[in-house]
Amino acid sequence: MRLPFAKTCWHFVVGLLLLAGKAHAQAELPFFLEAINVPATAPPGQTRVDLYVAVPYQTLQFLQVERGFRATYNLQVEIYRLEGADQRRFVRRAGWQRQVAVTDFAATRSAETRDLSMYTFNLAPGRYELVVQLEDLATRRLLSRTLEARVRSLDASVALSDPLLLDRYDSTQQAMVPHVGQTVSTDRSSLPVFYELAVRQPQRVQLVHELVRPERRSGWPLIGPLLGIGRGEEYRVIYQHAVWKTLTAGSLAQVHTIPLPEGLEAGAYLLRIRALNPEGEELAVVEKPFTAVWSGLLAQVQDLDEAIEQLRYIAKQKDIDYIKAGKTPEERWQRFLSFWKKRDPTPGTPRNEQMEEFYYRVALANRKFGGRRPGWQTDRGHIVVLFGEPDFVERRESSQPLEIWHYQRLGRRFIFIDRTGRGDFELLEPIWESPSRIR
């Protein structure tokens, strides 16, 4: 796919997206979304938005074909404009089909290899909800994710696109692979960022690239409008780089690589790009919040709020309420880490095996039993999270099929019944245990 710009042309690598597992910390969600405002040609009063969708191969069901294996799936996006507290208005719907082919079976189960596609649409400035549904044509399984997007007006004399993090780029081939998602690994040594700058008339502009680490403190929330919080806060600048550009009218594509410090701390960060005139006045500014996660410890945690909700299987309600009561995302993050630190079976080591196992099981439940609701919220998912995979499963077919899960190592068994015949298995007997730990 070629995207023309005033001075150069870059190739976005769309299709096969091959990532190194430890280098890119993403949770085992069914697929990932990213929406980017772009200063490109659009109808008057509208802004172009690029929606990226990355689907891990392990999410798909591959079928054997003559020269390997093939998966086919449909994607559909429904766009709603958010109006008021609880109101939304349907705007449009679009869909497209993707097909993935591999030569060996091992590739079909890869969590690191993803199929990447992009859909472009034009919207009036405002707040939107993008509901993306994936249908696997081999199994007819439906998966859904929702992304809230803010569409900005880019009609100013100087406009910046949203920053797009990259997994890699090749300056000689002018090719890049987008990083779709809101987390990066603390193992990364650098962070390439792609963005576009559009100007209406020739001028000299200073571009300032900053990586900011919000600091915790009492009082008002952290800085960053895209974090949904206020200004006037304390923060620590991790990195700052400024460069002058003499621009002609049109658009300029930029890739700037931010070097990351060795031993990057896990937590919330804010990437900021500013355009200044020679007098130092701010012409445009864009920000992108992201979370750095430990690749070995927190690779399963993509959404902090959801990760906190998932603690209900092992935590007391007062512990969950305490974590949620944090006034800022950073404070909630630190309370979340503190909860797990108290349960670390090997304190003093980099890994927290108890936490790894818990979120591995959550991801496993989502992968095996997800559908109309996340897999961890189903009865079978609940048991997987608490006890892991069963030693063996006994199935009894009838008008109301049964599954009997045997845990010989624990001397336990659990019986599930499908009363509807639609695969909605319910646990016949409740678990008479107080939440405390996984087994």
* 185, 293 Cβ separation under 8 angstroms: yes
Which pLDDT belongs to residue 93?
A: 97
Mean pLDDT of 186-198: 91
State the DSSP code for 30.
S
Q: Which two tokens stand for residue 355?
A: 């936490």
Q: In this prediction, what percent of the chain has a pLDDT beyond 90? A: 48
Residue 76 reports pLDDT greater than 90: yes
pLDDT tens figures, 134-183: 999 999 999 999 999 999 999 999 999 999 999 888 878 778 889 998 88
Q: Which two tokens stand for residue 385?
A: 């999270």
Which pLDDT belongs to residue 169?
A: 82
* 105, 10 Cβ separation under 8 angstroms: no
Which pLDDT belongs to residue 266?
A: 67
Q: How far apart are CA 291 and CA 24, in angstroms?
A: 12
Residue 17 reports pLDDT greater than 70: no
Mean pLDDT of 378-395: 88
pLDDT tens figures, 81-91: 998 777 899 99
pLDDT tens figures, 300-352: 566 788 899 999 999 999 999 999 999 887 788 889 989 998 988 878 766 67
Mean pLDDT of 61-74: 94
Q: Which two tokens stand for residue 232?
A: 């006037």
Which pLDDT belongs to residue 74?
A: 98
Which pLDDT belongs to residue 19?
A: 41
**Residue listed under structure tokens 């090749």:** 170
In DSSP notation, 196-260 reads: EEEESS-EEEEEEEEEEEEPP-SSS--S-GGGT--SS--EEEEEEEEEEEEE-SEEEEEEEEEEP
Residue 415 pLDDT level (bands cut at 50, 70, 90): very high
Q: How far apart are CA 191 and CA 214, in angstroms?
A: 18
In 266-352, which ranges are continuous DSSP H helix? 304-309, 317-324, 329-341
Q: How far apart are CA 168 and CA 13, in angstroms?
A: 10
Query: Which residue did the predictor score with more confidence, 82 or 420?
Result: 82
Q: How far apart are CA 235 and CA 270, in angstroms?
A: 10
Domain boundaries, the chain: 2-293, 304-427
Average pLDDT score over the chain: 82
Which pLDDT belongs to residue 348?
A: 72
Region label for 154, one of left (φ > 0), alpha (ψ between -120 and 50) or beta (otherwise)? alpha
pLDDT tens figures, 249-259: 998 999 999 99
Query: Which residue did the predictor score with more confidence, 136 or 26?
Result: 136
* 198, 251 Cβ separation under 8 angstroms: yes
User: What is the number of other CB atoms lying within 10 angstroms of the CB of residue 311?
Assistant: 18
CATH of 2-293, one of 2.40.50.140, 1.10.260.40, 2.60.40.3880, 2.30.30.140: 2.60.40.3880
Pairing of β 203-214 and β 235-247:
antiparallel
Q: 3-class DSSP state for residue 304?
A: helix
Mean pLDDT of 272-286: 95
State the DSSP code for 349.
S
Burial classification of residue 319, based on how many CB atoms lie within 10 Å of its CB (0-12 exposed, 13-18 middle, 19 or more buried): middle
Residue 3 reports pLDDT greater than 90: no
Q: How far apart are CA 372 and CA 56, in angstroms?
A: 19
Which pLDDT belongs to residue 431?
A: 62
Residue 226 reports pLDDT greater than 50: no
